[in-house]
A and B are shown apart, each in its own frame.
Chain A
Amino acid sequence: MLCPEGRGVITEGVDLRGPAFHAVSLFSHEPRDHQLGAILQTRTNLGRNRIFQPMTRQHMGPRNVEETITNEASRLVSTAAIYLPEDVKRALRNAQEHETSELAKKVFGSMLRNLEVAEAEGRPSCQDTGTVIFYVKAGDKFPYLGILERALRNATIKATADVPLRPNSVNIFTGKNSGNNTGESIPWIEWELVPGSDTAEVTVVLKGGGSEGPSIGKVIPPAEGMKGVYKLVLDDIFEQGPKPCPPVVVGVGLGPTVDIAMKLAKKSLLIDIGQRNPDAEISKIETSLLEAINKLGWGPHGVGGSTTALDVHIEAVNRHPASFAVGVATACWEDRKSTMRIDPEGKVEFLTHQFLNRRNA
């Protein structure tokens, strides 16, 4: 589906008919000249409006549904790169208010100023636009299961060209960059089946490279129990210090095996900042572990301060009697995530960035 000669051209900036050209040309019912014109227009028309053009839906057939989902998912990815969700922005503003060090306040000041510039000018807030990861909760009665993977892949290619995003997908062995943020199993898609539902909820996470550093998957002696978990997390955040772009969001997963624990830790990063685990006991632990992490004193970007983490989320499932697996994952201060829901008619509602819906009205 991808033309090999289209790879890598975005970075080199030489050929305007880059991955976007190939992405859009999937819909072969449209004339080619028209496509190229649209892309050229997109690329010369810098500003916030260009990625938020609503779709027209006069003739919604199956082919058009794929086109709609692709385009709306592309807006989802673009939005995640430019606009932080409200919960994260609120947490950052709150953190700035509570800092007492002048330097820490200044660092928060540039973070918040950066977000304003990104939004006003439609630029990616961080140049590391991450690995594109989708978390899909799809109902077993959702009618477009079969096209979703292809749509999300093409949406990634389109968003990479439109925003633009930095091409961050390189071959493990050769280091060759695909140029369009796709590759073997990339974008990565985490599927979750929801029995009885006929909708699909799609969350995109743009996962930067720096904040992968603190990730841990480890089996601790069951005798250590939660004390062992706390020590692992505190040592990790202390050791990593300024490297993962703090204040971070910390996700902790607990279960029988390391893959389960890690998956839980990662998924917990999707939870809104400030939202506590429904289990009262876990909720209490989240609050006190956050307090303990912020006692460390690294502060924003390690310049010293009272906010090293914006939040801690813990997800726990039953474990094996002989195995206590812990997963620790972090998101950097730019916790980039964005969610949309697709209904059985193929219509899309944006959940985290609701201003996108207004433009659809």
Chain B
Amino acid sequence: MTEYKFTTPIGDEARNLRMGDVLYLTGTVVTARDAGHRRALELLNRGEKLPVDLHGLAVYHMGPIVRKIGDEWKVYSAGPTTSARLEAYEAEFLEKTGARIVVGKGGMGAKTAEACKRLGTAYAIYTGGAGALAAKAIRRVRGVEWLDLGSPEAMWVLEVEDFGPLTVIIDPEGRNLYDETRTRIKPNLLEAYKMMGVPF
């Protein structure tokens, strides 16, 4: 377990990450959930530009609790949402946006792992449920796009400082900590059956 501190824009230093490593991010993180991924891909596939250039940035699977006070947005809680829902979009999203780190929770699948390997990107988790702590790492809301999608689905452009600890789950070699853990602990399931007298 190595600890890294990255500042955006992130370049090829992302290739050093290995599953199980711990990462802290400083700089710009952009949120995208289901509707955000869909809209981004629609625009890019029509040859249009995104409102924010995501090259070297981190994309965060998150729908915050926010409120506008005067001209400023205040983020109250900002923990990750379940990334599995974004599996259908993420590989294409990474390829077409140039984002370098994906942050979410719960893990992602083989298509994303393949993209991480091909593009030298990584998928990391922020502690699910730690919304208050995450909000504390957000220095400022730099902007918000696509509010018509509703606040959780909008694209929030966040300035963060030492956002973490993030745990690398899929690394730029395409290895997936959750998949490997599942394989490694499979014998434990049989052991647990035995403890409860379940025939198998």
Report A's interface with B, CB cutoff 8 A: 8, 10-14, 43-44, 46, 102-103, 106-107, 110-111, 113-115, 117-118, 121, 123-129, 163-166, 177, 208-210, 213, 227, 230-231, 234-235, 238, 241-243, 245, 288-289, 291-293, 295-298, 301-304, 332-334
Contact = CB atoms under 8 A, between A and B. Distances in A.
Interface in B132-146: 132-136
B167 A114 contact: no
Nearest to A304: B181
A213 B83 CA distance: 13
Of the candidates B78, B129, B197, the one having the most CB atoms from chain A within 10 angstroms of its own CB is: B129
A42 B82 CA distance: 32
27 contacts: A12-B147, A13-B66, A103-B22, A107-B127, A114-B131, A115-B132, A121-B136, A126-B128, A129-B65, A164-B65, A177-B150, A208-B129, A227-B198, A231-B193, A231-B198, A238-B189, A242-B125, A288-B195, A292-B193, A293-B192, A296-B188, A296-B189, A297-B188, A301-B105, A301-B125, A301-B128, A332-B129
Contacts of A234: 189, 192-193, 196, 198
Contacts of A11: 66, 150-152
Of the candidates B107, B130, B167, B193, the one having the most CB atoms from chain A within 10 angstroms of its own CB is: B130
B76 A242 contact: no
Given A124-B77, A301-B128, A230 B167 contact: no
A245 B81 CA distance: 10
Contacts of A245: 105-106, 128-129
Contacts of B125: 242, 301
B191 interface: yes
Contacts, number: 191
B182 A44 contact: no
A13 B199 CA distance: 56
A210 B191 CA distance: 27
A43 B150 CA distance: 21
B79 interface: yes
Given A13-B67, A125-B132, A303-B177, A291 B195 contact: yes
Given A12-B68, A121-B136, 6 more contacts: A123-B77, A230-B193, A242-B125, A245-B128, A292-B192, A297-B184
A190 B185 CA distance: 39
A121 to B, nearest CB: 7
Contacts of A115: 132
Given A241-B178, A296-B188, A110 B133 contact: yes
Nearest to B167: A303
B50 interface: no
B73 A164 contact: no
Contact of B129 (A114, A121, A304): A114
A201 to B, nearest CB: 27
B1 A103 contact: yes
Contacts of A227: 196-199
Interface string B144-159: 0001001110000000
B76 A123 contact: yes
Given A127-B79, A177-B150, A111 B68 contact: no
B133 A292 contact: no
A102 B132 contact: no
Contact of A12 (B84, B151, B165): B151
A113 B147 CA distance: 31
B98 to A, nearest CB: 27
B36 interface: no
B172 interface: no
A241 B73 CA distance: 35
Q: Which 4 A-B pairs have the closest CB atoms?
A: A13-B68, A11-B151, A114-B130, A127-B77
Nearest to A165: B65
B62 interface: yes
B64 interface: yes
Nearest to B84: A243
B106 A128 contact: no
B63 interface: yes
Contact of B82 (A8, A102, A111, A243): A243
B11 interface: no
Interface string B40-52: 0000000000000
B77 A107 contact: no
Nearest to B107: A242
